Amino acid sequence: HFLTLRSSWCKRKQLAYGHAVVLSDVDPDVTDAVLLSALSQVKVFGKSEIVDRCLDVASKTQLVLIKTSTDLKNQTVPDVVGLPGEAGPWPAHVLTAPAENDEFQSKLMSFLNAEGKTLTDVGGLLQPSPLDVNTALIHAISSLVDKCNTTSVDSQSYRKLRMFSGVKPTPNGEEEYDAWAEQTTHLLDEWQCSDNIKKQRIVESLKGPAADIVRFLRVQQPTATSYDYMQVLETAFGTTESASDLLVKFRHTYQNVGEKLSTYLLRLDKLLHCIFRKGGVALSDMNRLRMEQVVRGALQQDMIALRLRMTHKLREPPSFSELLKEVREEEDMLQSRNDSKNPVMSQSVTPISKSAPEQEVDPEVAKLKKELSVMKAEMLIDVVSSLPGREESEVEFAGKLSPFSFNFGDSPVPKEWKE
């Protein structure tokens, strides 16, 4: 028991056996200074250090664990340590590394003593059982019990899949393939049931050409899984584009003018899930690809996209739901801000016109008006001179007229000519 105590003590304190000494029968009132003074008298210990103390219940004294600076494996250690005439002596016990078998045996004997058992009692328990039970039978029974427990859980109500037939155009009450496949893939991952039940639920949601395709697969491949069902439906009704083609299409999907960023995000995510079903992208990379394309494909003048471009490298890419929530909140905030500005801007302000005396005439404007009047008069002279039957004197008389000598009065002459 003492050997086991010392071994576990050294392991607990992470102390090497070759540098460990245990002093026994130490009175509790002996101080560390007295112990260190006594240890300094033993040159073979080198520099000593008190690591721990514990109570020996049998002798009502203490055991002191000492760490030495020298390795004591090949050293001669005195049997007792103390200060002659002052303190001690105390028996010194050098710890040696026990063999694996000895350590196990000491632990076993200590355990048996604590339980009040002997090795004979253990030998009786280790006798082979007379029953020779087939291991395969045990596994079969265990698997059957698990299936029964699973069936009892699956028998409860569950969310049924929507109907899908593959008929074009899509009949009322049915789903298009992309929406149906998205929901089915999601629920297949969530259902905690056997694959047979998953296949049954897929078949329940199919009719028409889609049901025929799955039925043909079951005839040709009776061991087909629910994943095989989804793959054959993807081949028949899904897009014919490969995963790489869809990825290129995803990279060239941009936000339309007038389109909200949230609507653009929904379009991107739908295409990204098509790529995921084709096996073109890992689930762990979807958030990163989505954010990269939003930053690249959004309109340059979109304020929300501008903020995302500035901050997307400062954090981990958010999930689709987190990003959509963030975008929609900012869109609502901008919309409410614009709504609050519109009533103020719609109020018309009637300008106060100045009275005629108060209006100031710009000299440049007056000069332009004068030049325009001269040009109009010259045009009038040219027109008059070109009329047939006019005497030369009349033409000369018209040329002598000043542009400002005409008084049109209420004649139907254009207004510009009167100015």
| Contact assessment for residue 237 and residue 166, using Cβ atoms and an 8 Å cutoff | yes
> Rg (Cα) of the chain, in Å, rounded?
50
Q: Does residue 345 form part of some domain?
A: no
Single residue among 69, 101, 133 that ends a domain in this structure: 101
pLDDT at 109: 63
Cα angle 111, 116, 117 (rounded to 5 degrees) comes to: 75
Q: 9 and 96, same structural domain?
A: yes
Q: Where do we find the tokens 């941009």?
A: 254
> Tokens standing for 277?
């079903």
Nearest to 400 by CA among 414, 388, 415, 385: 385
Q: At what angle do helices 261-277 and 243-251 cross, to 10 degrees?
A: 160
Single residue among 339, 357, 391 that ends a domain in this structure: 339
DSSP reduced 3-state for 49: strand
Structural domains in the chain (count):
4
Q: Does residue 121 form part of some domain?
A: no
Q: 91 and 9, same structural domain?
A: yes
Q: Where do we find the tokens 């049998």?
A: 58
Query: Domain holding 86: CATH number?
Result: 3.30.70
Range of the domain at 392: 366-418
Q: Does residue 141 form part of some domain?
A: no
Q: 191 and 228, same structural domain?
A: yes
Cα angle 41, 43, 45 (rounded to 5 degrees) comes to: 100
Q: 80 and 34, same structural domain?
A: yes
Q: Does residue 279 form part of some domain?
A: yes
Encode pLDDT of 238-254 as tens digits.
888 888 898 999 999 99
Q: 282 and 322, same structural domain?
A: yes
> Tokens standing for 295?
């930053």
The C-alpha atoms of residue 250 and residue 386 are separated, in whole angstroms, by: 73
| Contact assessment for residue 297 and residue 255, using Cβ atoms and an 8 Å cutoff | yes
Q: 277 and 257, same structural domain?
A: yes
Q: 334 and 260, same structural domain?
A: yes
Single residue among 322, 339, 356 that ends a domain in this structure: 339
- For each of the chain's 419 residues, which pLDDT tens digit applies? 455 556 666 767 666 767 777 777 777 777 888 878 887 877 777 787 887 777 777 777 777 777 777 777 777 777 787 777 777 787 877 766 555 455 566 566 666 666 666 656 665 555 555 445 567 777 778 777 776 665 444 445 677 888 999 898 888 888 888 888 888 888 888 888 888 899 999 999 999 999 999 999 999 998 999 989 988 998 888 888 888 898 999 999 999 999 999 999 999 998 998 888 788 888 899 999 999 999 999 998 888 988 889 988 888 999 999 999 999 999 999 888 888 876 655 554 444 444 444 445 567 677 777 777 777 777 766 655 655 544 444 444 444 444 444 454 554 555 555 45
Q: 329 and 253, same structural domain?
A: yes
Q: Does residue 389 form part of some domain?
A: yes
| Contact assessment for residue 298 and residue 264, using Cβ atoms and an 8 Å cutoff | yes
Nearest to 81 by CA among 31, 28, 21: 21
Q: Does residue 133 form part of some domain?
A: no
Output the CA–CA distances (angstroms, integers) from residue 256 to 52, 64, 297, 329, in the order listed.
Answer: 76, 81, 9, 20
Q: 318 and 286, same structural domain?
A: yes
Encode pLDDT of 141-167 as tens digits.
877 777 666 544 444 567 788 899 989
Q: At what angle do helices 392-400 and 363-385 cross, to 10 degrees?
A: 180
> Tokens standing for 47?
């520099």
Q: Does residue 335 form part of some domain?
A: yes
Q: Does residue 74 form part of some domain?
A: yes
Q: 231 and 193, same structural domain?
A: yes
Contacts of 339 (CB under 8 A, 6+ apart): none
Encode pLDDT of 309-341 as tens digits.
998 888 899 999 999 999 999 999 988 888 887
Encode pLDDT of 174-221 as tens digits.
888 888 888 888 888 888 888 889 999 999 999 999 999 999 999 999
Q: 12 and 81, same structural domain?
A: yes
- Helix or strand run (H / E) with residue 376: helix 363-385
The answer, as to whether pTM is greater than 0.75, is: no
Cα angle 258, 261, 263 (rounded to 5 degrees) comes to: 85
Q: 294 and 378, same structural domain?
A: no
